[in-house]
């Protein structure tokens, strides 16, 4: 089965035009501290331009739960992605108060979760994991660096694969790791911003795998 596709870190109206043309299943708005960070007003405006059938994921790092609840309830986002050190109890609280999927990100190379912890996240209501590159600078992803896919753990949930994915390695990544979905950000950028041709090309390659 072909993996679903998420294009993350959208900040401009033209970014929305690009994804509306390309047709990924997911887009991502980053609310955490990042060069791709967007505020709530900007994200709501961009979400209003997204064509039907594309789900908006909100990316958070140790955020107040009230912010997440607000953005879900007002329709700015459809899915929650937790990219910090949020424990299973945090996921439980979110799931008690919203109807919608939760993705728990794990930075491979930095966070060596025991298998029991993956089970705890699944039991707390998480719907997916996301595996991203570990960083040496204390960041939370979006580095454009791939990790060793052999280190992907066996988990009770389907997962998104992120970290340094681009047109040249996406075919190998999909064939080897067989993720539920792929999450791409810097791999579809040129000069630090999203690029229409790169988005169209990587989506074409994914669907040709």
Among 15, 78, 132, 183, the active-site one is 132
In the three-class reduction of DSSP (H, G, I as helix; E, B as strand; rest coil), residue 164 is classed as coil
Helix (H) or strand (E) segment spanning residue 189 = strand 189-190
Give the ranges where 7-81 is alpha helix by DSSP (H): 13-22, 40-47, 65-73
For the question of residue 14 being annotated catalytic, the response is: no
Distance between CA atoms of residues 149 and 173, nearest Å: 8
Distance between CA atoms of residues 22 and 17, nearest Å: 9
Tell the residue number behind the tokens 């660096």, with chain if given.
145
The pair of structure tokens assigned to 37 is 């960070």
Other Cβ atoms closer than 10 A to 201: 16
Among 8, 15, 78, 183, the active-site one is 8
Question: Annotated catalytic sites, by residue?
Answer: 8, 132
């Amino acid at each position: 089965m072909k993996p679903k596709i998420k294009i993350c870190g959208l900040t401009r109206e033209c970014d929305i035009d690009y994804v509306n043309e390309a047709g990924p299943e997911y887009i991502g708005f980053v609310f955490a501290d990042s060069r791709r960070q967007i505020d709530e007003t900007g994200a709501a405006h961009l979400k209003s331009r997204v064509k039907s059938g594309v789900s908006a994921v909100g990316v958070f790092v140790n955020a107040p739960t009230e912010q997440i609840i607000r953005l879900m309830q007002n329709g700015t986002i459809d899915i929650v992605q937790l990219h910090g050190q949020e424990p299973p109890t945090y996921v439980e609280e979110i799931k008690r108060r919203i109807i919608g999927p939760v993705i728990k990100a794990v930075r491979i190379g930095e966070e060596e979760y025991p298998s029991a912890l993956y089970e705890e996240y699944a039991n707390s209501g998480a719907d997916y994991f996301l595996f991203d590159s570990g960083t040496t600078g204390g960041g939370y992803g979006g580095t454009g660096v791939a990790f060793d896919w052999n280190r992907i753990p066996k988990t009770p949930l389907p997962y998104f694969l992120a970290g340094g994915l681009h047109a040249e390695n996406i075919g190998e990544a999909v064939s080897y790791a067989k993720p539920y979905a792929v999450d791409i950000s810097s791999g579809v950028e040129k000069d630090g911003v999203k690029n229409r041709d790169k988005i169209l090309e990587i989506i074409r390659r994914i669907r040709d795998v």
